[in-house]
Amino acid sequence: MTPSEPAETTAPDRSSPVREALLDAAAELLVRNGYRGLRMRDVAEAAGVSRQTVYNEFGDKWGLAQAVVLRDNERYLDGIDRVLAEHDDLYAAVAAAVRYTLLTSADDPLKKVVLTGAGGDELLPLLTTQAEPVLFTASARIVEHAHDRWPHLDREAFAEVTDAAVRLTMSHLILSEGPPDRTARFIARMVVRYLGVPEPEGGDR
């Protein structure tokens, strides 16, 4: 829906307390009511601002929902950074990161709303057909972390296989197949074989 009020022309401050309060309110309302039940006026009221402020920050309801999902993704990527830092070899790091993603997402109420279509399936494109912002952010963050930790790896090749691994992991979030550990080992094998990195001795860990 396009608001009748004119949109603000200046770019919003993406770290402002007001924006964070709006995202907090919107995330809670999305979990409670789903996308169809999300109302801009309810978000504004919960954050203690005018409805116009919500429109100025996000443009429309879809922009607000996308911002909520992107912020949730950034927080998940902070966790991925921590998981990767706990492992010295690439295979173990990738397997742990995939396992963390699958297990964390299963317990994330916001991810459940997106993946299960609670209150309507309108949000699913944020992880499928319109997922480029999420995919790009995830891939870029992982590549930067890995380049710092394993500088000997070919950066271009690692970027290519990371993009494939992120997309494959996301597909398992949407259509779960088998235990998370098996999926994590499979994706870890794909990554190290593509890069020519030795796999762990004695089989999968």
78-110 residue pLDDT tens: 999 999 999 989 999 999 999 999 888 878 888
d(CA 37, CA 31): 10
For residue 127, give the nearest of 160, 101, 156 by alpha carbon.
101
E strands present in the chain: none
d(CA 26, CA 21): 9
- Mean pLDDT across 132-148: 86
- Mean pLDDT across 39-65: 95
Level-2 CATH architecture, domain 17-63: Orthogonal Bundle (1.10)
pLDDT computed for residue 4 by the predictor: 40
- Mean pLDDT across 165-173: 89
**137 — pLDDT class (breaks 50, 70, 90):** confident
d(CA 100, CA 106): 10
Residue type, 189: R
- Kindly report the pTM of this predicted structure: 0.77
Query: Which tokens is 93 given?
Result: 């790091």
Distance between start and end Cα atoms, the chain: 50
